[in-house]
Chains A and B, each alone.
Chain A
Amino acid sequence: MSISHAPPNAPDPDISRISKSESGEAARADATDLDLQPVVPASARNLPVPRWLRRTTGPILLLALWQLLSATGVLTPDVLASPGRIAQVGWDLISDGSLPSAMGTSLRRVALGLLFGTSAGTGLALVSGLFRIGEDVVDAPVQMLRTVPFVGLIPLFIIWFGIGEAPKIAIITLGVTFPLYLNVYAGIRGVDSQLIEAGESLGLSRWGLVRHVVLPGALPGALTGLRYSLGIAWLALVFAEQVNADSGIGFLMVQARDFLQTDVIVVCLIVYAFLGLLADFVVRSLERVLLQWRPTFTGR
């Protein structure tokens, strides 16, 4: 036994412990004999299973359960088709070209609706955000129109625009315009007045202030608005395509409903979900590029 804390001039280091426990020195030496336990590093306890595998386990188990219920006949095909069947139908729809062409039609509608909607929303927001007179003229009517549920306008739009592409695109446009307007407007009005003053003191012109201070400052709000708008664009698409459509994903779904093809309906829902994810990815990438100055932005 070694006692590291024994004083250098200790008379006899080898005396018995009992006699030594009288002094504080010996008590400290005894402390080293406590029952020590190793602290196990957190990483050592982890199972050697990669995270992505663990994260996919849940969905895969759910799929397996679904397949099991379908195979045992608890879930009948007219309630919900089995996953295997859905994969088969999805592949068939892709290979006979009906799904790609429907997707093309739907994407075109969303793209056009987004284009018109973002132009209108941003344009109106710029007018009312940048000019006081613009605010007086534009903001009140826009706030009034905003409260009208745009889906309720479908009958009116069909009367106005017929049953072609125009009413569908108009519905998407309307749905996209307002969230974008609100966010861009709030973004412009939320720009730090201290920065605007600094810009003025640097001799920026009115247009220079808008370009270098106001618009970049409104960009985070505008991108939030764009995200909302994309979500609403898909929603509006679903509504628009289920009324009087003769092409597009919504049309495929309506047709499938008439023939009780739950497999086709699920395939279409998956396509919607996939397109939504894709749109979100696009906005995220935009934010990554345009908002890299923000320290709150931690993605990389």
Chain B
Amino acid sequence: MATDVHRPVTPATTRAVHVEGLTRSFDGRTVIDGLRLDIAPGEFVALLGRSGCGKSTLLRILAGLDRDIQGTALVPRRRAVAFQAPRLMPWKKVWRNVLLGLPGRPERNVAEQALDEVGLGHRVDAWPRTLSGGEAQRASLARALVREPDLLLLDEPFGALDALTRIKAQRLVGELWQRRGCAVLLVTHDVEEAVLLADRVLVMDDGRIAHEQHIDVDRPREITDPRFAALRAGLLERLGVNTAAEAA
């Protein structure tokens, strides 16, 4: 089987991600099984699934962190990841964290601009461990965005945030995506978050994309929108959650 990983996407193709026949096994247990996925440039895709369904594995493969794969996975050369934990280097000040790994010798003001964009301009010189959870997550986003990615991979980036901070962070990601126009793959277990942000919601099950749902609600979206509730209920059902029982 051809294993063709991380070849830059040529401008002629109109895909930011092309995955075909992707298989990944851990000690004989197949987590991803012949998966097929295309993401258009600038598209916001949310990936839902029960815990352990392989959605995080898929993200790690697309990030280039997991290479024990079979099948085809084509991703842009410029891609960035924001993890559930901010994973800032505690021994580097925030602005140095943002610039870490950038080619050449980037100036400090590059980091300042990126941090301003996520509303963290006042913590440029802070040590990461002095940041609050929301601030650290925003710094992690700035670190991803400063790479000007064509594909932004978000691995449950709001999972560890408190409810209020999460709403703000979700709004921020929506704004940044609209401004930057990069393709986004958001892995999450929060159906509301997926419907709020994504153009297309995928449900992963048994190592494949089991369900696909286009979200045609206009932006900015409101949770109070009646279509929103219907979409949410439909997706929850796909995930095996009985919404009727939940409502009772």
Contact = CB atoms under 8 A, between A and B. Distances in A.
B85 interface: yes
Interface in B115-141: 127-130
Contact of B80 (A200, A201, A212, A295): A201
Interface string B80-97: 110101010111100000
Contact of B101 (A194, A199, A217): A199
Interface in A244-300: 292-295
Contacts of B63: 201
A10 interface: no
B232 interface: no
Nearest to B99: A202
Interface in A11-25: none
B143 A293 contact: no
Contact of A204 (B92, B100, B143, B147): B100
A213 B87 CA distance: 11
Contacts of A199: 89, 100-101
A209 to B, nearest CB: 9
Contacts of A198: 81, 83, 87, 89
A109 to B, nearest CB: 34
A68 B65 CA distance: 74
The B interface, classified by DSSP as helix, strand, loop or mixed, is: loop
Interface residues on B, range: 20 to 34
Interface residues on A, range: 20 to 34
A213 B128 CA distance: 14
Interface string A198-228: 1111111000100011001101000000000
Given A195-B89, A208-B101, A213-B89, A293 B64 contact: no
Contacts of B127: 292-293, 295
A30 interface: no
Contacts of A219: 91
A202 B92 CA distance: 15
Contacts, number: 54
A220 B220 CA distance: 48
A293 B94 CA distance: 11
A202 B100 contact: yes
Contacts of B130: 295
Interface in A171-188: none
Contacts of A202: 80, 100-101, 143, 147
Nearest to B129: A295
A203 B101 contact: yes
B91 A201 contact: no
A103 B68 CA distance: 61
Nearest to A204: B101
Contacts of A92: none
Nearest to B96: A212
A245 to B, nearest CB: 43
A294 B92 contact: no
A62 B130 CA distance: 45
Contact of B65 (A200, A216, A293): A200
Contacts of A194: 83, 85, 87
Contacts of B89: 195, 198-199, 212-213, 216
Interface in B61-113: 63-65, 80-81, 83, 85, 87, 89-92, 100-101, 103
Contacts of A294: 90, 129
20 contacts: A194-B85, A195-B87, A197-B65, A199-B89, A199-B101, A201-B81, A202-B100, A204-B101, A212-B92, A212-B100, A213-B89, A216-B89, A216-B92, A217-B91, A293-B90, A293-B91, A293-B92, A294-B129, A295-B127, A295-B129
Given A208-B101, A219-B91, 7 more contacts: A194-B85, A198-B87, A201-B64, A202-B143, A213-B89, A293-B90, A293-B128
